Chain A
Amino acid sequence: MSEKNLTIIASKGTLDWAYPPFILSSTAAALGYNVTMFFTFYGLQLLKKDLSLSVSPLGNPGMPMPMSMDKWFPVLGTTIPGMQTMMTGMMKNTIKSKGVASVAELRDLCLEADVKMIGCQMTIDLFDIKHEDLIDEIDLGGAATWLDQASDSDINLFI
């Protein structure tokens, strides 16, 4: 079988949006793809050694709320202090109870499968992100680095 290539640009840094890039990358690696992940803007959060990702119900009408909370707490309710922490805790419990892997676990599986991870140098400068806060397995690069990979790739996704 000829080798296939996948690149993914991961641009979001919330608990829910951490899943698509890591699920697709780990699965593609298991299917024999060479995978390159490029992390830009808020996606850099996914490269932190200490993954403290949250999910916000604010401005997200598609998010299922437990106990019909969306009825009792219309839009304004989602701005109550502590709501984000509570929803994040609930989401993490649901993830665990449904046999879904944690983000850290999926990231480890990607690294184990030799998925290449590239952090966006510009974002690191822009947000003053400390190198020592990021995992060691990454390379740094810019738009040209991704384009170089993407031009020879079978699948390129922006998430």
Chain B
Amino acid sequence: MSDFNQELDARGLNCPLPILRAKKTLNAMSAGEVLKIIATDPGSVKDFEAFATQTGNELMGSSEDNGEFHFLLKKGG
């Protein structure tokens, strides 16, 4: 996976906390910066896709590794 500016550890958190924490972290970031999120909630895969569609932040990558889900979100303008 490519570079990122900030990382959010959302492991062990259940819906909707990963989304809420991601939103809060993005609020403090600048447009164009990339946030990496690590989660263990399988529902977060669909949820981060929907989050990106609804908010205009770009989901650059989504992958699974050993029961952990990694997302790269680029903050929209």
Among B12, B20, B22, which residue has its beta carbon within 8 angstroms of that of A99? Answer: B12
Which A10-57 residues sit within 8 Å CB-CB of chain B?
23, 26-27, 30-32
Which chain A residues border B13 with CB–CB below 8 Å?
A: 99
Q: Which 7 A-B pairs have the closest CB atoms?
A: A30-B23, A27-B16, A31-B54, A99-B14, A100-B14, A99-B12, A99-B13
Judging by beta carbons under 8 Å apart, are B54 and A109 in contact? Answer: no
Q: Chain B 16-37, CB within 8 Å of chain A: the 1/0 string? A: 1101101100000000000000
In this complex, how many residues of chain A approach chain B with their Cβ under 8 Å: the count is: 12
Give A100 to B16 CA distance when docked, in angstroms.
8
B27 nearest in chain A by CB position? A30
Judging by beta carbons under 8 Å apart, are B16 and A98 in contact? Answer: no
**B13, B14, B17, B51 interface centre (most CB from chain A within 10 Å):** B17
Interface residues of B, Cβ cutoff 8 Å to A: 12-17, 19-20, 22-23, 41, 50-51, 54-56
Give A40 to B52 CA distance when docked, in angstroms.
33
A25 nearest in chain B by CB position? B16
Judging by beta carbons under 8 Å apart, are B14 and A27 in contact? Answer: no
For the residues of A in contact with B, the DSSP-based class is loop
Residue A101 is within 8 A (CB to CB) of chain B in the complex: yes
Which chain A residues border B56 with CB–CB below 8 Å?
A: 1
Judging by beta carbons under 8 Å apart, are A99 and B19 in contact? Answer: no
Which chain B residues border A30 with CB–CB below 8 Å?
A: 16, 19-20, 22-23, 51
Which chain B residues border A26 with CB–CB below 8 Å?
A: 16, 20
Judging by beta carbons under 8 Å apart, are B20 and A27 in contact? Answer: yes
Which chain B residues border A109 with CB–CB below 8 Å?
A: 20
Which chain A residues border B17 with CB–CB below 8 Å?
A: 99, 101
Give A99 to B41 CA distance when docked, in angstroms.
9
Judging by beta carbons under 8 Å apart, are A31 and B14 in contact? Answer: no
Minimum distance in angstroms from A134 CB to a CB of chain B: 24
Give A42 to B42 CA distance when docked, in angstroms.
33
Q: Chain A 102-122, CB within 8 Å of chain B: the 1/0 string? A: 000000010000000000000
Which chain B residues border A100 with CB–CB below 8 Å?
A: 14-15
